Chain A
Amino acid sequence: MDPLLTGQDQAMLRGEGSEAQALAMRVLVSMARATGARRMIDISGAHIDGTLYLGRASLDFATRLRDGGGRVAVPTTLNVSSLDLLHPDLFRGDEATRSDALTMMTAYLDMGASPTWTCAPYQLADRPGFGDRVAWGESNAIVFANSVLGARTPRFGDFADMAAAVTGRAPEFGLYLDRHRRASVRIDVSGIAKEARLTDEFFAVLGFLTGIEAGSEVPAVTGIESATEDQLKLLGAGAATSGAVGMVHVVGITPEAPTLASATGGIAPRLVKVTPDVITRAYKALSSTDAETIHTVNLGTPHYSTRQIVRLQDLLAGRRIHPDVKLYVNTGRDVLASSSEIVKRLEERGVVFVVDTCTYVTSILPAGPDVAMTDSAKWAYYAPGNLGVDVVFGSTSDCVESAVAGRVIREEQPW
């Protein structure tokens, strides 16, 4: 069934705006047909995931839009790219890739998007509010927008997010609609010791587990008494990695889940009870090796917040990173600028800050069959496939202890 189009939508489709808008509207209408959307709606902002150079196709799309007169119709932020423009020497890839990646980044700026280059746009000063309808790419950002901010965005893929940005329109499907925001699976963690439930690593592992259990359903987590935004970020990023999850209710914490009944709409959800055994298995599954020597430590996937950088400073106080280990912190250029004093002190201790990109998506780590350590379930999940490295997952504190010692040190898990 074709979606209902306004006169303006039809005009864009006929090419009365720009060629770019016509292409974008064709993509959106096809998407509407595929998802069964009945109409198109206005969006108030977009976040573009297509900024990472994934080969010629991503460049071809960006330049086709730009050369076809594409301009963003709504405020638009940009996700991580393949290059750190503030620290260009970190890039170890080939010149052709560097050049194509830069051309593509420029195309998005030419179309009027903001050079934010971050996978955590919810850490920027301007972020969507409750009920705002936006078109966001980047799987972790989508979960955060829906779950924590109460904004609305389905899981937009590359291309679709930019198609929405240049038209200001989106097919009304998925998480835009109340009925798709209701939880159908309940992940209960009340069987886990309270002190464990307060740790960051618990949220990261729980996220990974939640994605596996929920698949493409909306989960509601019960048994959490408190959570910081950073912890909710880790939960969402993990869930959006192992599952097709676009929203995670945390009952008593996130805005659309004051109670379990409000999260589910009153329908009895499928129950998954998380036991210490289940968490331990998930924790172990995030490491691909039991090697003892590590070569790199990678923090900040999604991009570290100011609070996380402060915590790193506390953990590293009075200590130095082992000469055979490189410790990278991935963060946004906005966070870097607002934490410049701490960043300077951490750099003196040997920390390497990476902005605009992330160490698991581009050639930054030293070449070789190395072992990498991370506090991110998302980094742990993707890096072996992306980079060919082996990975050890641990808490932030484990990562710092290991970086100082030059070998893997992991405390006994609290669950």
Chain B
Amino acid sequence: MVSVGGTPIVPGVAEGPSLVLDQPLSWWGGIDPRDGTIVDLHHPQHGQPTAGRVLVLPGGRGSSGGSAVLAESVRRMTAPAGLVLGDVDPILVVGLIVSAELYPDRNCPLVVAREGYDLLVSGRTTRIRTDGRIEQF
């Protein structure tokens, strides 16, 4: 088991198969909120599903509309189970803060793991704990 400490920015618990992205992602223009697929043609993981995954990514990029699309993904229940970021991205953070206000029964936690980020790999059952710790089995 790999266990990595992180800072819980939007606290909560989540569990799902992990997907580690090779590049940052803009939610707006990068994710189809109807099903959570990556639609950014310039992203190396274009076409991959993110719904229900513990999504591990270096950070955000691109559009400031990312907050609203991420909140919409949460509302539609097509969002990842949780997000692990290599660095704080205010656009993604705000999307989840607002979705927690609007849809309190649909939780998508976000942790920032600056140390140990590189230890996380794709395709493992991954758990995010309320204290921000990330465990891969």
Q: Residues of A with Cβ closer than 8 Å to B? A: 23, 26-27, 30-31, 33-36, 49-50, 52, 54-58, 60-61, 64, 137-139, 142, 154-161, 173-174, 211, 215-216, 240-244, 285, 288, 381-382, 384-386
Contact indicator B62/A157 (Cβ below 8 Å): no
Among the 9-residue stretches B14-22, B35-43, B121-129, the one with 4 or more Cβ atoms under 8 Å from chain A is B35-43
Q: Can you list 25 contacts pairing A with B, beta carbon distance less than 8 Å?
A: A23-B101, A31-B90, A31-B93, A33-B9, A34-B88, A52-B65, A54-B69, A54-B72, A55-B33, A55-B72, A57-B74, A58-B68, A137-B64, A139-B64, A155-B90, A156-B90, A157-B90, A158-B64, A158-B68, A161-B64, A215-B24, A216-B61, A241-B63, A288-B41, A381-B29
Q: Quick check: B61 and A57 within 8 Å, CB to CB? A: no
Report yes or no: B30 in contact with A385, Cβ–Cβ below 8 A: yes
Contact between B102 and A54, CB atoms less than 8 A apart? no
State whether B68 touches A57 (Cβ < 8 A).
yes
In the complex, chain A residues whose CB is within 8 Å of the CB of B41:
288, 384-385
- Say yes or no: B61 contacts A244, CB within 8 Å: yes
Q: Is the CB of B94 within 8 A of A27?
A: yes
In the complex, whether B99 has a CB less than 8 A from a CB of chain A is yes
Instruction: Kindly state whether residue B133 has any CB partner on chain A within 8 Å.
Output: no
Chain A proximity mask over B66-80: 1 for CB below 8 Å, otherwise 0: 111101101110000
Residues in B neighbouring A154, C-beta threshold 8 A: 90
A35-B90, A61-B98 given as contacts; is B65 within 8 A of A240 (CB)?
A: no
Inter-chain CA distance A242–B91, complex, in Å, is 15
A142 to chain B, nearest CB (A): 7
- Hey, which chain B residues are within 8 Å of A215, CB to CB? 24, 59, 61
Which residue of B is nearest A390, CB measured? B41
Question: Distance (Å) between the CB of A172 and the closest chain B CB?
Answer: 13
Q: Which residues of B contact A (CB under 8 A)?
A: 9, 24, 26, 28-30, 32-33, 39-42, 59-69, 71-72, 74-76, 87-95, 97-99, 101-103
Residues of A within 8 A of B72 (CB): 54-58
Residue of A nearest to B62 (CB): A241
Check B90 against A34 for contact (C-beta < 8 Å).
Answer: yes
Are the CB atoms of B88 and A157 closer together than 8 Å?
no
Contact A240 B62 (CB under 8 A): yes
Q: Please, how many angstroms separate the alpha-carbon atoms of A289 and B78 in the complex? A: 30
CB distance from B130 to the nearest CB of A (A): 16
